[in-house]
Structure 1
Amino acid sequence: MKRLYGALAASLMMVQLHAAHADPLAQGDLVTFATREGVTQSLFIATPAQAPAWVIVLFGGTPGALHLGPGGATTLKGNFLIRSAQHWIDDGEAVVLVDTPSDHREGVDDDFRHGNDSFIDTQAIVAKVRERFPRAKIALVGTSAGTVSVGNALERDAKIADAFVLTSPVTLSRRHEATIADLNVDGTQARVLVLSNAGDTCPSSPADVAKRLAQDRRYDYIEVNSSDGDSSAAGRCGGHAPHGFLGIEADVIGRIQAWLKVKAQPQNVPPAR
């Protein structure tokens, strides 16, 4: 009987740990406001302090829709940035989860992310964040298709944020949609970091292409190397694949945090172990 209770307790603990991991920002504020005419935008804001040094604005990958509620994201929880958001909180930064706008409730494609409407929404998002955290620096951080949203802001107004981070950036299009490679911008007037996984097998985000792009645009570059996770044809571009830095989330975010705090020279970081 003791063994049975022990097994049940262990199982319950695993369920609780999984639930906490799957919904890392269950405590925070849901904020909805107008952006374009007839369109609203929702954010979920979590902060460990009233005056954080950095606010990290997170743009998830395909399809981008988080269906935010009072308890945070209800969909796309497996996305690298969404499931790992607590790491930012633990380090003292505020975090903002960005949902898709009300006229695209079920998600957006990369062409929308690269368009003017998306940029107008991002302008409104940054304005709302600055209103709430007037003394904080702002980093726009995207992963996979979310890098197109961040790149769009970088291209149209490099001064909109204090830093831009592109993880597993979409550099090759499979459906003739916009990519980071389409940006008409270099890194001379903005702090930009590109971070890739050498083990990424997603055809849209090969590490060697991201590295060349970073070098050409004079962005900072960090490369990790992990092959953990789903590398099947169906899952290789998902969050639970090397594309989503499965198993090395804390290490990857720690490197981004270090880059934000100290201006780094372009570099190739040794592979993660």
Structure 2
Amino acid sequence: MMMQFTPYFIKLLFLAIVLQTYPASAQDGATQTVSLNEEIVSVDLSGDRKQVGVYTTSSSSKNPTRLAVLLPGYPSVVRPVVENGVMTNSRLSGNFLIRSRQFLVDEMIASLIVDCQSDSGDLCSSTYQASQQRQEDVDKLIAEVKRRTPSISEVWLIGTSMGTISSSFMPIHNPSGYAGAIHTASITEPYARNSYRELGGFDYKKTTVPQYFVHHAADPCFLTTYAGAKSITDKYKIPLITVTGGSDFKGDACKAFTEHGFRGKEKDVMRNIGVIIKTGRADQLVIN
């Protein structure tokens, strides 16, 4: 006798095949290279404040040794949602660092997306991001991740756009806390309209950890010019990784889907950053 399949049964069968074929991995549209395991990490701060982050590891990694601390750009408020081991939503899903994390995480490298402290409102202010309080709040989150994963021996800061305020100031407040800092699409014009004065006259020599700049040669944002990045890196003898090309650019010049957010070059940029984190060297200074 031929078995009769109801429409509901057929739907469940199709769903099971899809889930078996495509394991859980990060969202946001880019082609996946690894399956990710993600969880919310939260620590209590003073008063009723909390510091939250999303800790991401490769499903094949049991003992990552490097932690990439991701400090996203404007407004630097993430408010993530994690369901079934995957971050499914946030206020900054399109941000370069967040949408590209799957190209960085592997057996050696885990990542930690950093939210702003819980009572920040809709903006993680530049004043706070430059403060020692910001460094202390984030370091409490890092300490919790290291407690959970004792194999982590190095912590790298990676900021993008407004988040480079944090990646610039945190090593000054805690010189021994990090193995290095990588500034992507960095704020280079602190005195421009609506820019961030905290980086005005910033002395990168005060940062004792290794630093790297990653910048698109055609970055259209008036706050993050390539000429400004070249001037800073030449002055302070900091390696500059220059990115060219990309595709499917759209939106405001300072938003995440133009050259400012390395649109179409996410995989190449993140893999280059991964090499820096693993080796402590920038072997490739041009990404075409």
For this structure pair, what is the TM-score category when the shorter chain's length is used for normalisation? 0.7 to 0.9
Q: Which residue number in structure 1 is paired with residue 82 of structure 2? A: 70
Q: Letter of the 1:154 partner, please give it.
A: P
Describe the SS at the equivalent of 1:208. helix
Could you tell me whether the CA contact under 8 Å between 1:56 and 1:141 is conserved in 2? yes
Matches of 1:271 and 1:135 in 2, distance apart? Answer: 31
* 1:20 aligns to 2:61 (yes or no): no
Give a deviation string over 1:196-244, Cα, whole Å, max 9, x none: 000101001111211221232232221111264446xx61111100000
Describe the SS at the equivalent of 1:131. helix
* 1:269 aligns to 2:285 (yes or no): yes
Q: Which residue number in structure 2 is paired with residue 113 of structure 1? A: 129
The TM-score, its normalising length taken from structure 2, stands at: 0.79
Please, which of 19, 39, 42 is the counterpart of residue 49 of structure 2?
39
Matches of 2:284 and 2:227 in 1, distance apart? Answer: 12
* 1:84 aligns to 2:94 (yes or no): no
1:116 deviation in Å? 2.9
Give a deviation string over 1:132-157, Cα, whole Å, max 9, x none: 23332111111110111111102222
Matches of 1:179 and 1:241 in 2, distance apart? Answer: 25
Give a deviation string over 1:94-153, Cα, whole Å, max 9, x none: 111111111114221322211232222122222223322333211111111011111110
Could you tell me whether the CA contact under 8 Å between 2:187 and 2:223 is conserved in 1? yes
Matches of 1:36 and 1:226 in 2, distance apart? Answer: 45
Q: Which residue number in structure 2 is paired with residue 148 of structure 1? A: 165
* 1:215 aligns to 2:231 (yes or no): no
Task: Tell me: CA distance 1:188–1:150, structure 2 relative to 1, closer, same or farther (3 Å).
Answer: closer
* 1:178 aligns to 2:213 (yes or no): no
Could you tell me whether the CA contact under 8 Å between 2:68 and 2:112 is conserved in 1? yes
Could you tell me whether the CA contact under 8 Å between 1:113 and 1:148 is conserved in 2? yes
Matches of 1:255 and 1:147 in 2, distance apart? Answer: 18
* 1:192 aligns to 2:211 (yes or no): yes
Q: Letter of the 1:241 partner, please give it.
A: T
1:44 deviation in Å? 1.0
Matches of 2:41 and 2:227 in 1, distance apart? Answer: 39
Q: Letter of the 1:146 partner, please give it.
A: G
Could you tell me whether the CA contact under 8 Å between 2:217 and 2:242 is conserved in 1? yes
Could you tell me whether the CA contact under 8 Å between 1:36 and 1:121 is conserved in 2? no
Q: Letter of the 1:199 partner, please give it.
A: A
Task: Tell me: CA distance 1:271–1:96, structure 2 relative to 1, closer, same or farther (3 Å).
Answer: closer
Q: Which residue number in structure 2 is paired with residue 6 of structure 1? A: none
1:50 deviation in Å? 2.7
Aligned positions, number: 256
**Structure 1 stretch displaced more, 172-181 or 118-127:** 172-181
Matches of 1:97 and 1:135 in 2, distance apart? Answer: 19
Please, which of 224, 245, 260 is the counterpart of residue 226 of structure 1?
245
* 1:203 aligns to 2:215 (yes or no): no
Q: Letter of the 2:224 partner, please give it.
A: S
* Greater C-alpha Rg: 2
Task: Tell me: CA distance 1:198–1:127, structure 2 relative to 1, closer, same or farther (3 Å).
Answer: same
Could you tell me whether the CA contact under 8 Å between 1:155 and 1:184 is conserved in 2? no
Matches of 2:237 and 2:91 in 1, distance apart? Answer: 35
Task: Tell me: CA distance 1:103–1:78, structure 2 relative to 1, closer, same or farther (3 Å).
Answer: same
The TM-score, its normalising length taken from structure 1, stands at: 0.83
Q: Letter of the 1:78 partner, please give it.
A: G
Structure 1 unaligned segments of length 5 or more: list them.
1-12
Describe the SS at the equivalent of 1:94. strand
Matches of 1:198 and 1:122 in 2, distance apart? Answer: 31
Matches of 1:118 and 1:188 in 2, distance apart? Answer: 16
Matches of 1:110 and 1:228 in 2, distance apart? Answer: 30
Could you tell me whether the CA contact under 8 Å between 1:186 and 1:218 is conserved in 2? no
C-alpha RMSD of matched pairs (Å): 2.9
